[in-house]
Amino acid sequence: MAKQSSSAVFRKRWFVALLVMLSVTTVIAFVIRATLDSSCDCHLDVAAEKRFQSQSVKPHTGVGTSPNPLSFMKSKTVLLVSHELSLSGGPLLLMELAFLLRGVGANVCWLTNQKPSGTDEVVYSLENKMLDRGVQVFSAKGQEAVDTALKADLIVLNTAVSGKWLDAVLKENVPRVLPKILWWIHEMRGHYFNMEYVKHLPFVAGAMIDSHVTAEYWNNRTHERLRIKMPKTYVVHLGNSKELMEVAEDGVAKRILREHVREFLGVRNEDILFALINSVSRGKGQDLFLRSFYESLQLIQAHKLQVPSIHAVIVGSDMTAQTKFESELRNFTATKNIQNRVHFVNKTLTVAPYLAAIDVLVQNSQVSGLLLFT
């Protein structure tokens, strides 16, 4: 009883601390802690936790330095399951979580459920980036995946589609791992509400969703269409990375990046530059963005408005895939004769320069609760 009481007091202390510390890392820490606590096998040694926190504060760091809110994950084994590995929002967010967990000493393993059949430069690059940071990467199929799932303290399924991995690989072991699964959901498209994907959703420890709108949508649709109940759900709003904040706070760096990117795009400093930063795909809003941009040009011309020249940049292009949708976007700019004002930039992990260069960021949320930078 004393051990349970001590554990409860410790969790309550963390709950108060997490409410005070308003950061994405802190909120994710709260969600992960709650998931771990819901599993009967996951009890922390409070005394050891306190010793680690006291040792982790380095001397001369200043008054009021707080311990890392993820420090309770030290030495824990976390399995991250991604539906794919690409320069799109979901996998990149999961990679960021992997690096945060590695930073506090967690043992992090990564599985990619769907991989291209041949060699893929993006997959190769991202896997090596994770290996360099100490993340173990191995096949999503086979006994190693099963053994890792069974011994893991926490399993994070990323996106609704990852649910297919459970039955395909774990088979009869699925009930043993459900109590330690945190399901991170980003999607709002109707075809994801399929029992093939989410039949185990009511039985996992918790769901983490990017916005209240998306959470409400999932709660209503799973009840009305599938007649299943959502697990305990945590809303975690996506935030800015350390890199973005450093650029935002450094006036000199921001000015240099702005000048460099605008010179590369052929945009003058006095021009107004709009941007949409997202993987180019149907439903992400690039078509609406371009139509609105073209209509704005028409209004400026019709009313003879004296305004600076305006340009648009779409960051998230991938012409190597030769998608029909991207071809439609490029054909639209050619047909409307605005190709000299619309600029396409390939998918990239480095979006800070483009944020520094633009004047207006357009965020689209047709099928996601919040824009995912890619």
Q: What is the pLDDT of residues 271-304, one digit of tens each?
A: 999 999 888 888 788 999 999 999 999 999 999 9
Q: How far is CA 134 from the centre of its chain?
A: 20
**pLDDT at 278 (0 to 100):** 84
CB atoms < 10 A from the CB of 225, how many? Answer: 12
Q: Which CATH topology does 242-361 take?
A: Rossmann fold (3.40.50)
Element counts in the chain: helices (H) and strands (E): 15, 11
**pLDDT at 64 (0 to 100):** 55
Is the domain spanning 72-235 CATH 3.40.50.2000? The answer is yes
| Cα–Cα distance for residue pair 342/313, rounded to 1 Å | 6
- Residue among 34, 83, 44, 71 at smallest CA distance from 181: 34
| Cα–Cα distance for residue pair 127/206, rounded to 1 Å | 27
**pLDDT at 169 (0 to 100):** 95
| Cα–Cα distance for residue pair 104/100, rounded to 1 Å | 7
pTM: 0.73
Q: Are 289 and 314 in contact (CB under 8 A)?
A: yes
Domain boundaries, the chain: 72-235, 242-361
Domains 72-235 and 242-361 equal at CATH topology level: yes
pLDDT beneath 50: ranges in the chain: 1-24, 26-27, 40-63, 369-374
Name beta bridge partners: 235.
209
**pLDDT at 194 (0 to 100):** 84
**pLDDT at 36 (0 to 100):** 61
Name beta bridge partners: 79.
109, 155
Q: What is the pLDDT of residues 132-173, one digit of tens each?
A: 999 999 999 989 999 999 999 999 999 999 999 999 999 999
- Residue among 219, 223, 213 at smallest CA distance from 366: 213
**pLDDT at 34 (0 to 100):** 58
